[in-house]
Structure 1
């Protein structure tokens, strides 16, 4: 017979946390969440494939800690947290496969720890289903092993809101208090502005709601946020002219933040586009976007169920934090990338899972098999669609990265070898693949002037890349030109292997 332990199970109403109610819970309940985390890790390794090369943004982040290539220009919106997370592998190895495996294992562990927080707040089956819902989204599987910050903001958000609720229920729960601070620090370490949007409702609650006021909890939020963001703020003053200047620069790079409804842009990106800028084209087929419309309906059902069960806070708080986390990317930006909404999906997964469990268990016993069958079929179709989109996204991304690798090999053949400089069309990722520095004289990644670039080209192997249909930059008109696929490679005067006009 299985042993039981008496542990607190949270009971909450709309006024805030109430006295914890003790109910028996079986030992070994973490097995379900562990199984979800293991399956998620395996899905990354099998479906995303460790050998897939690094993407554009990944090249920027990895170059900051890698000995393979000089550090790329680091623009204002970026934060160095993900670079440091990748450093234990990237600092000594250039193997993308090893880096992917490391991040897949780490992301699986992160998911398990974040879900573990919610045990006691919701039944085990709800928590495990929430993890499965989040872990089977194509965007979650794709970005779990990527050197990108958004997945980790999502994990921090999921863990942080759960720890916040636990700390409110049991004021002696020091682990929950530390969890709030650590989660806020993780989010701010990865993307400080995203962290602010996620924890904004928590800050408002502990400051403005009398029943929720706890100085230690407020301190945990503020100290965690400050600890994670301090390096970003220091860098703002050291390299960008101050915090205000960096925020303004980040806004400009993102097209100018302000009232701009991007819901349709996010909808278009669900076909598997990793970046939709400019976001044009038709809306994806209904089967690809049905889940996006089902989420708010299920979340609303979960809230109704929670209100009736007098545990409103545990459902309402993740919904509100999900809403604030998604607000800048749905209403304040002029383009879309599915990864931006990962914190939204992670927080929404808990209420949605609760609603699905309610649909299966609430009907009369005679109807439960029907409800279970319908939900199971719906989830199976949903997973099938997600993995079909994932396969397409992985295929297109792999093809683009292979093109960069081939261009880098061609640069080496032409004599552009380290130490070297690459500028122009897609110069940043191609330079990383070639082991070169990247430089731009204009645009968001502008890091040099034409005069400085020409001086560099006179003593260092340099290549200017342009599309085959475009002419070379003005300063490179006299440089030898070579046709390679859709590109023309214009080789600078210091490159001894520059051939004749292609």
Structure 2
């Protein structure tokens, strides 16, 4: 596919620079994309609801900058970009509602700027439709206001490809160069490994295609990647024994990266599961996954449209970047989470929107009413499915987070209050809700030995959480216990006297 891209770009170079698409003076290319961004913000606030508590990974990221609870263990695959993004709110306020509103507004602004990066490359109506297609996916609406990095990788990917195409078309476009570097920094800041996969085709283009070699865009991209990843690399040597060791730890935590076809896992997760690990069960009903198979077909149609209209490079480059962005999550990992493919969806949105626009504006007038009707019906059904899945995902996530908050309140009632330490399978998010530190003696988040946790328990309220049907961990054997819902709370003798008898 990269060779095809090289050939197409060389052919485009021979034909001369890519002509800019005229935009309306009345909107200046901003009106429709801005309306899409505003609608995206409103959808998040109305459908995800700011009151939904923080999830497991969110608790890890927020705890790094929050005074509400001690920082949770930060494992090798994680990067600190999203923690720094929410620091302006999380560093002084424990309000989840305020944090959600802040992120919803910021994600809307990010979408608008990413679409603006494509101005002059496609008609405004195509860009607005692309933004709407991406912004109405349930996974996009769900993760826009979440303290998670994947949405921001998607925004950086979308903006970066657009900026490169503009920089290639106009060497004097300094804004495109700055955008090229800033988008790379954003992705690397959030998830360095994802940034590499997205950027790979761009680097191949800038280095290997002689007619497309541009030192300034290449320098901007490399500088952006280095700026965003430098903190993660330094941390690798300070805390993980080096870059190679950190990458190896990250692979181990993710189940061992290698050849593994995870397409079926991704399909199973489309029913609204935020994490499918282990990913078992049947494939969802056809109406829930039809859109997933329609995406590559429509993207292919968009490429055909681009070839016929003489703007192949503008469509082919995002398609290639979408492909490389999806490779690790479709073919190299043993589980699935819908958020992993957000960069893939964002990049495909441009050619898909171009294809749909072509269908409803075909030159054969007798077919236009039929095409408009079919596309409208398909979009209506698509939206109905997306928001049904979104509602289910929000309800389940809200319920689990409410349970964590309830357990935290119960811990306070029986005497486990800050400063305190929690251990056990679900201790990490519950510890954040309770204002405690979390500590694990084994597993991916192991950060303490049994001897150390016993020493801590002598002077600090400590509790081990376990399923009600399970035996207590070895270090908590003999500690007073309390049944709460599906959990049994084993508390250190220092607070054992406060535990009511079952």
- Note if contact 2:468-2:487 (Cα within 8 Å) is conserved in structure 1: yes
Deviations 1:372-431 (A, max 9, x none): 011011011101110000000000000000000000000001100000000002000000
Q: Counterpart in 2 of 1:166?
A: 166
Aligned counterparts of 1:305 and 1:378: Cα–Cα separation in 2: 20
SS for the counterpart of 2:483 is strand
Deviations 1:244-285 (A, max 9, x none): 000000000000000000000000000000000000001001
SS for the counterpart of 2:365 is coil
- Note if contact 1:14-1:312 (Cα within 8 Å) is conserved in structure 2: no
Mapping of residues 185-200 of structure 1, within 5 Å: 185-200=185-200
Question: Among residues 11, 20, 25, which one is paired with 1:15 in the alignment?
Answer: 11
* TM superposition shift of 1:498: 3.2
* TM superposition shift of 1:20: 4.4
* TM superposition shift of 1:19: 2.1
- Note if contact 2:415-2:498 (Cα within 8 Å) is conserved in structure 1: yes
Distance 1:354 1:414, change over 3 A: same
- Note if contact 2:151-2:339 (Cα within 8 Å) is conserved in structure 1: yes
Aligned counterparts of 1:496 and 1:488: Cα–Cα separation in 2: 14
SS for the counterpart of 2:494 is coil
* TM superposition shift of 1:22: 5.8
- Note if contact 1:32-1:128 (Cα within 8 Å) is conserved in structure 2: yes
Q: Counterpart in 2 of 1:317?
A: 317
Deviations 1:117-139 (A, max 9, x none): 11211111110000000000000
* TM superposition shift of 1:211: 1.2
Using structure 2 for the length normalisation, give the TM-score: 0.96
SS for the counterpart of 1:469 is coil
SS for the counterpart of 1:464 is strand
* TM superposition shift of 1:361: 1.2
SS for the counterpart of 1:58 is helix
Aligned counterparts of 1:346 and 1:459: Cα–Cα separation in 2: 51
Mapping of residues 426-441 of structure 1, within 5 Å: 426-441=426-441
Aligned counterparts of 2:260 and 2:156: Cα–Cα separation in 1: 27
SS for the counterpart of 2:334 is coil
Aligned counterparts of 1:164 and 1:22: Cα–Cα separation in 2: 14
SS for the counterpart of 1:15 is helix
Aligned counterparts of 1:500 and 1:377: Cα–Cα separation in 2: 60
Q: Which runs of 5+ in 2 are unaligned?
A: 1-7
Mapping of residues 296-445 of structure 1, within 5 Å: 296-445=296-445
Aligned counterparts of 1:24 and 1:134: Cα–Cα separation in 2: 24
Q: Counterpart in 1 of 2:205?
A: 205
Deviations 1:329-377 (A, max 9, x none): 0000000000000000000000000011111112511210110011011
Mapping of residues 14-413 of structure 1, within 5 Å: 15-17=11-13, 18-21=16-19, 24-27=22-25, 28=27, 29-413=29-413
Deviations 1:414-466 (A, max 9, x none): 10000000000200000000000000000000000000000001110000000
* Runs of 4+ displaced beyond 4 Å: none
Distance 1:316 1:444, change over 3 A: same
- Note if contact 1:461-1:495 (Cα within 8 Å) is conserved in structure 2: yes
Q: Counterpart in 1 of 2:4?
A: none
Q: Which runs of 5+ in 1 are unaligned?
A: 1-11
Aligned counterparts of 1:369 and 1:460: Cα–Cα separation in 2: 72
* TM superposition shift of 1:308: 1.6
Using structure 1 for the length normalisation, give the TM-score: 0.96
- Note if contact 1:424-1:465 (Cα within 8 Å) is conserved in structure 2: yes
- Note if contact 1:89-1:98 (Cα within 8 Å) is conserved in structure 2: yes
- Note if contact 1:14-1:310 (Cα within 8 Å) is conserved in structure 2: no
* TM superposition shift of 1:13: 5.9
Aligned length: 491
- Note if contact 1:15-1:211 (Cα within 8 Å) is conserved in structure 2: no
